[in-house]
Structure 1
Amino acid sequence: MTSFKYYVGASIDGFIADRNGSVQWFKPYATAPAVEEHFQKFFETIGAVVIGGKTYENIVRDVTEGSIPWVFGDKPVWVFTHHELPTLPGADLTFIRGEVGFWSRDIAQSAGAGDVWVVGGADLAGAFVEAEALDEVLLVTVPEVLGEGASLFGRGISTQLAALEIEQLGTDIFLARYAIG
């Protein structure tokens, strides 16, 4: 059965982006060998990706500027948006509007035998929690204090998490895997 998984990096004080909405502060941690290895294993289990419009715009900007490659390969990518957004040649993109619960079945079907990676942003992840459509959180916590920015779920949600696994990725980076509900 397909699971929806929110795999995200955060500062020790719980922010996934800084006050300007940037995730550049996280890049040195993302390229740590143990983090890259863990992410590659995770990504091999993914059949589809779901992403919010603002996060997609940031990725498109970085891809267009050549600072990052299109990391999703040929996997279907579903983009929740309220705006017209540019496409990327060769990317399997579906732009959607509406409620997470309405689209979750179609997204899951597009994943085939794989899982769905809820990339974010935080508001989208929060919407998946509210729709009771998020199964797991994989949280990479790094030794950085941002003080403010985008929080993990971006909205005032309340839910119970159950720790499934905690793993040390290098000397000062930890991955915690939680079940929702």
Structure 2
Amino acid sequence: MTSFKYYVGASIDGFIADRNGSVQWFTPYASQPGVKKHFDEFFETVGAVVIGGKTYENIVRDATEGSVPWVFGDKPVWVFTHHELPTLPGADLTFIRGEVGFWSQDIAQSAGAGDVWVVGGADLAGAFVEADALDELLLVTVPEVLGGGANLFGRAISTQLSSLEVTDLGADIVLSRYAIG
């Protein structure tokens, strides 16, 4: 059965983006061997990806500037947006508007035997929690304090988490995996 999983990196004080909305502060941690290995293993289980419009725009900007390649390969990518956005040649993209719950079955079906990676942003992940459509949180916590920025879910939410696993990824980085709800 397909699961919706929010795999995200955060500072020790719970922020996924800095005060300017940038996630570049996380780049040095993403290249740590333990983090890279765990993410690569996770990504092999992903059949489809869902992202918000702002996150998509940032990824497209980086891909077109050549600083980062299109990171999702040939996986279907669903983009929640209220705006017209550019496409990328060769990317399997579906632009959608509306409620998360309305689209979750179609997104799950596109994942085939894989899971769905809810990339973000934080507000989209929060919408998945509120729609009771997010199954797991995989939180990579790094030893840095940002002191502000975008928090984990982009909004105040209330939900129960159950710890499934805690893994030391090295370099004082910890992965905590939780079941949601």
| TM-score of the two chains, using structure 2 as the length reference | 0.99
* Per-residue Cα deviation, 1:117-145 (whole angstroms, up to 9, x for no partner): 00000000000000000000000000010
Give 3-state SS (helix, strand or coil) of 1:144's partner: coil
Deviation at 1:171, TM superposition (A): 2.8
Superposition pairs of residues 34-73 of structure 1, within 5 angstroms: 34-73=34-73
What corresponds to 1:164 in structure 2? 164
Give 3-state SS (helix, strand or coil) of 1:179's partner: strand
* Per-residue Cα deviation, 1:4-27 (whole angstroms, up to 9, x for no partner): 000000000000000000000000
Q: Structure 1 residue 107 and structure 2 residue 100: aligned?
A: no
Structure 2 Cα separation of the partners of residues 68 and 36 of structure 1: 16
Asked if structure 1 preserves the Cα contact closer than 8 Å seen for 2:104 and 2:133, the reply is yes
What corresponds to 2:33 in structure 1? 33
Deviation at 1:29, TM superposition (A): 0.1
Q: Which runs of 5+ in 2 are unaligned?
A: none
Identity %: 86
2:127 partner amino acid: A
Deviation at 1:156, TM superposition (A): 1.1
* Per-residue Cα deviation, 1:73-109 (whole angstroms, up to 9, x for no partner): 0000000000000000000000000000000000000
* Per-residue Cα deviation, 1:9-64 (whole angstroms, up to 9, x for no partner): 00000000000000000000000011110000000000000000000001111111
What corresponds to 2:134 in structure 1? 134
2:132 partner amino acid: E
What is the count of residue pairs matched by the alignment? Answer: 181
Q: Which runs of 5+ in 1 are unaligned?
A: none
Give 3-state SS (helix, strand or coil) of 1:98's partner: coil
What corresponds to 1:147 in structure 2? 147
CA RMSD of aligned residues (A): 0.4
Give 3-state SS (helix, strand or coil) of 1:176's partner: strand
Asked if structure 1 preserves the Cα contact closer than 8 Å seen for 2:32 and 2:171, the reply is no
